Amino acid sequence: MRPGRSLKPFRRPLLWSGLWCLAVAAVVAASLAPPPPLPPVAGGDKLGHLAAYFVLAAGAVQLHSRWASLLGAGLGLVLMGIGLEYAQGALTDLRQAERADALANTLGVIAGLATRLTPWRDALLAVDRRIPPSGRDVDP
């Protein structure tokens, strides 16, 4: 582990962290955009919230090597989920804030962070190492 750095030792740290940031932006955009015209499914909305935040938190596990960094990312995702629920009620006419959605977001974050305790916590690092380096990649 490199002192002072929270990311795992990737060959392409900007690529992986950039993709994670795009995923966060996609969740923000999807949360504030008009809802798609889908038939209502009991609990389906909550499962979507849980899955989205699970993926974001599991992505943070793939990126960060330290618990402190993961807990910071997790807290940020929980606060983002709560803030977006508030924003849906305050800023849009087509969506409404729901405490159950914020709870589903939070449970998704907890489940995603729990992947840190599994053997798959370094799956992205293994993928990164298997991709052959390009001529522009330089190891630090």
Mean pLDDT for the stretch of residues 69-87: 96
Q: Which two tokens stand for residue 53?
A: 């935040």
| pLDDT of the residue at 37 | 75
Q: What is the pLDDT of residues 51-65, one digit of tens each?
A: 999 999 999 999 999
**Dihedral sign from CA coordinates of 86, 87, 89, 95:** negative
Indicate yes or no: pTM above 0.85: yes
Q: Is the pLDDT of residue 1 over 50?
A: no
Q: What is the pLDDT of residues 10-59, one digit of tens each?
A: 999 999 999 999 999 999 999 998 877 767 666 678 999 999 999 999 99
Work out the pLDDT band at 136, boundaries 50, 70, 90.
low
What three-state secondary structure class fits 39? coil
Integer Cα distance of 98 and 128 in angstroms: 39
What three-state secondary structure class fits 100? helix
Q: Is the pLDDT of residue 2 over 60?
A: no
Mean pLDDT of the chain: 89
Instruction: Confirm if 9 and 124 have CB atoms less than 8 A apart.
Output: no
First to last CA, the chain: 13
Q: What is the pLDDT of residues 89-133, one digit of tens each?
A: 888 787 888 899 999 999 999 999 999 999 999 999 999 999 887
